Copies of this chain bind each other. A is one copy, B any other.
Amino acid sequence: MKCTVCRGPAVMEVRRHNGSFCRDHFLKLCRDQVAKAIKDFDMLDHEDRILVAVSGGKDSLAVWDLLLELGYQADGLYLGLGIGDYSDASGDQARSFASERGLHLIEVDLPTDHGFDIPSGSRAAKRVPCSACGLSKRHLFDDAARRGGYDVVVTGHNLDDEAAVLFGNVLHWQTEYLGRQLPVLPARNGFPKKVKPLVRLGERETAAYCVLRGIDYQVEECPMAAGNRHLGYKEALNAIEATSPGSKHAFYFGFLARASDRFTGEAEADQEQLSACARCGSPTTGDVCAFCKLVERAGGRPAPEPVPVDLGRRR
């Protein structure tokens, strides 16, 4: 197997791109794909203060590394979710990555700072763990970005993630989620801008990127996620991708090009009706935001001092 670019020995085949690549040209492919995503969707400026949501897994460490390689300034944010050994090991990977490179890593710990963890908190609140975790992460990313004055939050969602989420949203025709499933969400109504620079890379590629760059990452999947629907959607799409390479890319980018804007109406209507959470000040459609409700039901501690939020179009 030879590198499609230089004919040297290849280390990685990417069927979707109908090519094989040596180490250097594979790493270049990854940088080029990320640069293209950033440019095509107007994700980042070189002057932006960027906050990367870092889990310690391959995707978040790859995106942090790639942004630095591409000349962006980016700090990291690690959230301790209190999921036993999994969280301990994930935190260690995030901290090692940052300290070895002299990077700034902000840490928020759910048990220490908010008085509950995902396993017991989700049980107490009678929520599916992945649902409680997702809403906590969204809230804490937004909150940290506002407190730290960051321009944009970067997440490590890759093509496989986005295609699987899209598949789930399409299977249930969740039209309001479809209207919001974009690689860039602009800052508005008190929410920071959020971008997904890895949407042109699959998870096989982000894993290979980390290995080839010598980045140690948390290889285990979250134990709470085992058997969830999202993983079933990934498997279904993997079977299709194996027969028709490029299917996931066509599915996700075809959606963005030809269908996404048919669903934006509902998502925008939702956003018109935000006010400040009575407890933490975050933008919310109710009186109290979903995170503060979760904290209460999970037996956690009330939010620290609210941070003033500019709700923009608030009525």
Task: Give CA–CA (A131, B127) in the complex, Å.
Answer: 47
Q: Does A172 contact B (CB under 8 A)?
A: yes
* Distance to closest chain B CB from A238 (angstroms): 9
Task: Give CA–CA (A254, B171) in the complex, Å.
Answer: 8
A236: B residues at CB distance < 8 A: 236-237, 239-240
Kindly supply a per-residue 1/0 record for chain A positions 46-64, scoring 1 wherever the CB is within 8 Å of any chain B CB and 0 otherwise: 0000000000000000000
Instruction: List A238-291 residues whose CB lies under 8 Å from chain B.
Output: 239-240, 243-244, 247, 250-251, 254-255, 257-259, 262-263
* Distance to closest chain B CB from A40 (angstroms): 17
Task: Give CA–CA (A262, B235) in the complex, Å.
Answer: 29
Q: Which of B233, B251, B263 contacts A171 (CB 8 A)?
A: B251
Q: Which of B173, B232, B243, B262 contacts A240 (CB 8 A)?
A: B232
Q: Does A175 contact B (CB under 8 A)?
A: yes
Instruction: Name the interface size band of chain A.
Output: 20 to 34
A244 touches B257 (CB 8 A): no
A243: B residues at CB distance < 8 A: 229, 232
Task: Give CA–CA (A67, B170) in the complex, Å.
Answer: 32
Task: Give CA–CA (A244, B236) in the complex, Å.
Answer: 13
Task: Give CA–CA (A124, B236) in the complex, Å.
Answer: 35
A247: B residues at CB distance < 8 A: 171
* Distance to closest chain B CB from A142 (angstroms): 28
Task: Give CA–CA (A257, B172) in the complex, Å.
Answer: 11
Q: Which of B229, B235, B244, B250 contacts A244 (CB 8 A)?
A: B229
Instruction: List A218-240 residues whose CB lies under 8 Å from chain B.
Output: 229, 232-233, 235-237, 239-240
Instruction: List A139-175 residues whose CB lies under 8 Å from chain B.
Output: 170-173, 175
Task: Give CA–CA (A247, B233) in the complex, Å.
Answer: 12
Task: Give CA–CA (A259, B178) in the complex, Å.
Answer: 11
A251: B residues at CB distance < 8 A: 170-173
| Pairs A-B, 4 closest by C-beta atoms | A173-B254, A236-B236, A262-B262, A173-B258
Which residues of A approach B to under 8 Å, CB–CB? 170-173, 175, 229, 232-233, 235-237, 239-240, 243-244, 247, 250-251, 254-255, 257-259, 262-263
A-B contact pairs, 6 of them (CB 8 A): A172-B250, A173-B251, A232-B240, A232-B243, A235-B239, A259-B262
